[in-house]
Amino acid sequence: MDKINIICVDDEREVLESVSRDLAYFADMFNIEECESAFECEELLEELDAQQEYVGVIISDHVMPEKSGVELLTEVALDNRFLGTKKLLLTGLATQADTIRAINNAKLDNFLEKVWDPQELLQTVKELLTEYIVEKGLEYEDYIEKLDPPTLYRLIK
């Protein structure tokens, strides 16, 4: 079974822990990674790529010191190695200009506002992960119990 990662990026430790807790549902089948900055995330991406692991979803905060979430996700969007990786921006402090750049440059797949509803976050990641797995042509049968059935039915041909 291929290793698929879900990466969470936030400079606040508590937020990071809280996101991981909300995504604990995936923990037995997917790798949930926590990064405290965009730089840490970049390093992790290099490492995962070297191990030929898949990056299914990146959930990132926007306002972080040194490098913002939108900048990080824009780089990922332009990187051929992470084609198809789903990008979710989770932020309470994005200006309209940030949001425009996030959509145009980082090609966001989803945008959630802080404070988020844990159920909504879980459902969104489920859908994004299902899309990623089917679009990448990975064996969806292996992960089927954790995926979103309606999305699966819509995408399988």
Partner 1 sequence: MIKPYLKYILPVVLPLIILLLPSDSFGIDGLTLVEQRVIAIFVMAALCWVLEPIPIYATSVLIIVFELLLISDNGLWFATNGHPELQGPLIKQSTIMATFASPIIMLFLGGFFLAMAATKYRLDVNLARVLLRPFGKSPKYVMLGIMMITAVFSMFMSNTATTAMMLSILTPVIALFAKEDIGKVAFALSVPVAANIGGIATPIGTPPNAVALKYLVDEYSVSFAQWMVIGVPFVVVMLLIAWILLNKLFPAKTKSIHLDIEGQFLKTPKAYLVYVTFASTILLWLLGGAHGMSAYVVAMLPVAIFSMFKIITKEDLKNISWDVLWLVSGGIALGVALDKSGLAANAVNAIPFDSFHPLVLIVGASMMCLVMANFMSNTATANLILPLVAALGASMTSLVPFGGQVVLILAVTFSASLGMSLPISTPPNALAYASGHFKNTQMLKVGVIIGAVGLLVTFAMLFLLNKLGVVGI
Q: How many chain residues touch partner 1 (CB under 8 A)? A: 11
Nearer to partner 1, 39 or 140 (CB): 140
Residues 27-86 that bind partner 1 (CB under 8 A): none
Nearer to partner 1, 108 or 147 (CB): 147
Residues 120-149 that bind partner 1 (CB under 8 A): 141, 144-145, 147, 149
Distances in Å between the alpha carbon of 30 and those of 3, 23, 90, 96, 132? 7, 10, 20, 34, 13
156 binds partner 1 (CB under 8 A): yes
* Cβ–Cβ under 8 Å, residues 76 and 85: yes
Nearer to partner 1, 9 or 147 (CB): 147
Burial (CB < 10 A; 0-12, 13-18, 19+), residue 148, is middle
115 binds partner 1 (CB under 8 A): no
153 binds partner 1 (CB under 8 A): yes
Binding site for partner 1 (CB under 8 A): 141, 144-145, 147, 149-150, 152-154, 156-157
